[in-house]
Chain A
Amino acid sequence: GESVGLHLPTLSVQEGDNSIINCAYSNSASDYFIWYKQESGKGPQFIIDIRSNMDKRQGQRVTVLLNKTVKHLSLQIAATQPGDSAVYFCADKAAGNKLTFGGGTRVLVKP
């Protein structure tokens, strides 16, 4: 992922709406991608991952989309709930290399 610096981008979403969180990565050799969720006072928790031989993968209320052409990853959360309020990180890695984390996006769910 690419670091987005000191100020986290913030996505405000109404409860019940769908959320889309975007992430750009820079290494064209990256073949594995992962999304983590970090709630206040906790460590990152795994949400979903995808390998480069896929362009879409679905989990429970979440979908990850991968566009290798433009090196872009997105996480879609369906029917966003208050418990989804957190910072979301994407991470990518190339074979034999370490996982590289992006700077994160804060999601605020409005009741």
Chain B
Amino acid sequence: KAGVTQTPRYLIKTRGQQVTLSCSPISGHRSVSWYQQTPGQGLQFLFEYFSETQRNKGNFPGRFSGRQFSNSRSEMNVSTLELGDSALYLCASSLEGGPNTNEKLFFGSGTQLSVL
């Protein structure tokens, strides 16, 4: 069974641009969560999607958004990029429960975003 797949692996953008990251969960997993990982703040929860609906949201500004498609694939978008958005963005999938349950989260390898 293929793991969680994230594309692209690396991205370089400039301030003010917008970016879209993609995540394909493990087959059969319906919950997809997104995390931002930086050296200073560690792993911070962005949001979780289930059945094409945002089910949980972290404390990030509205520039960060996402969506989920009927096949459970998810995208996240960051608009008006700032230097501080440079980070590793990780996607995690689970069967149904997501990060608010004791279901295991399976992480992808992430997208490394650099904002210049």
Contact = CB atoms under 8 A, between A and B. Distances in A.
Contacts of B92: 43
Contact of B105 (A46, A96, A104): A46
- Most interface-central of B92, B105, B106 (chain A CB within 10 A): B105
Contact of A3 (B41, B106, B110): B41
A43 B109 contact: yes
A interface, over-half SS: loop
A97 B56 CA distance: 10
Q: Give the size category of B's interface with A.
A: 20 to 34
A34 B41 CA distance: 19
Interface of B: 4, 39-43, 45, 56, 58, 90, 92, 99-100, 102, 104-110
Interface of A: 3, 5-6, 8, 32, 34, 36, 41-46, 49, 51, 89, 93, 96-99, 101-104
